[in-house]
Structure 1
Amino acid sequence: MTRKVLVAYGTTNGSTARIAETVADVLRRDGLTVDALPARSVASVSAYDAVVVGGGLYAGRWHKDARRFVRRHGQALAERPLWLFSSGPLDASAGERDIPPVPGVKKAMTRLDAREHITFGGCLQEGAKGWVAGMILRSGKGGDFRDFTAIEKWAGRVAAEVQGGG
């Protein structure tokens, strides 16, 4: 029986969605059935054997849709294998060292017994929504710091764990 995985994400400008879709693509390639959906659109996780939740980081907090998702589905998430990821640093730091989860994500990890959390570099490019995003871009601090090789490698580890029954 093919295991079914949900990759849910909270994103404002699409950068985290692209990471989530990359994770989903790797999981599919490795033989899993996968739905990648905006966290706010998920009504139930009961149809899934495992869940991956990702959120963009904004001012030291996970995207509100990801936070609400883990609160709303907390009991069900605690009953199945769960992995979390964050995207956000607008520099190379995520590729240079392990960046621990922000406090709210750390609490969710403990409460839900998540298997793992990883932080990937973020992406902020011209046309991004929001006043703060505009300020960051005007200061020259934008760019694309996502490392898709690292994202695919991590997703491959998740796929192996899910396939192994975990």
Structure 2
Amino acid sequence: MKKKVLITYASRAGSTQGIAQAIGEVFVRHEADVEVRFILDIKDIQTYDIVIIGSPIRDMAWLPEAIRFINIQQQALKHKKVAYFIVGMTLRENTPENCETALHVLDPIKQILQPIDIGLFAGALLRDKRLKFIWWFIAKITGLPDGDFRNFHLVREWADQLAKRLLQEESVPNIAEVSTLQTEK
């Protein structure tokens, strides 16, 4: 029987959505039953075996709706295989400091629920209708460059490793087995 996988994401301008869709495509290739859905559209997760949750970093935190989702669903999530992914512009530069900073964004969330794995991915800063002027302005004054820095090869590689691991397991792994895959150019 196919494992049912939910890949849910919070997003402001679509960058994280694109990464979630790429992850979903990999899980489909591994013959999972996959749904990729915006986090505010999810009401019940009981039917899923695996839940992958992603959010961009804003103000050194995950988006509020992603945190709220984990808080609301925490009892159900404790009985699922759960992984997180982070999308951030600072991750366009693959340095240990940037990766460590991004991982610290999850500290409050990991107190609620430890993930099996965490993916770290660079995002995109594209001035268009989806990115509110205030976020674009803040990005500009803080020196972030315009552009799409998402590395879909890296995203698919992480998703492939995660799918192989989660779709073949019969039980939820020990928390001590948590691993992270750092971004690379």
The answer to whether the superposition gives a TM-score over 0.5 is yes
- 1:156 equivalenced with 2:157 (yes/no): no
Contact 2:125 2:148 in 1 (8 A): yes
CA–CA distance in 1 between the matches of 2:119 and 2:6?
17
CA–CA distance in 1 between the matches of 2:90 and 2:18?
16
CA–CA distance in 2 between the matches of 1:143 and 1:64?
25
CA–CA distance in 2 between the matches of 1:102 and 1:156?
21
Contact 1:90 1:142 in 2 (8 A): no
- 1:104/1:71 CA distance change after superposition, 3 Å: farther
1:78 maps to what in 2? 78
SS in 2 for 1:65: helix
CA–CA distance in 2 between the matches of 1:121 and 1:20?
13
- Give the RMSD, CA atoms, in angstroms: 1.9
CA–CA distance in 1 between the matches of 2:43 and 2:77?
13
5+ residue gaps, structure 1: none
1:117 is displaced (CA, Å) by 1.3
2:29 maps to what in 1? 29
The one-letter amino acid of 1:115's match is I
- 1:104/1:77 CA distance change after superposition, 3 Å: farther
SS in 2 for 1:99: helix
SS in 2 for 1:12: coil
Contact 2:83 2:115 in 1 (8 A): yes
- 1:91/1:142 CA distance change after superposition, 3 Å: farther
1:140 is displaced (CA, Å) by 6.2
TM-score, length-scaled by structure 2: 0.81
The one-letter amino acid of 1:118's match is G
CA–CA distance in 2 between the matches of 1:6 and 1:121?
22
- 1:75/1:122 CA distance change after superposition, 3 Å: same
1:157 is displaced (CA, Å) by 1.1
Higher deviation after alignment, 111-120 or 36-45: 111-120
CA–CA distance in 2 between the matches of 1:50 and 1:129?
32
Matched ranges for 1:4-153 at <5 A: 4-90=4-90, 92-93=92-93, 95-97=94-96, 99-100=99-100, 101-127=102-128, 128-137=131-140, 141-153=145-157
1:108 is displaced (CA, Å) by 2.0
- 1:147/1:72 CA distance change after superposition, 3 Å: same
Q: For residues 73-99 of structure 1, what are the alpha-carbon distances to aligned partners after superposition, in whole Å with 9 as ceiling and x for unaligned? A: 111111111000010124622x45471
Aligned residues: 165
5+ residue gaps, structure 2: 173-185
CA–CA distance in 1 between the matches of 2:20 and 2:79?
22
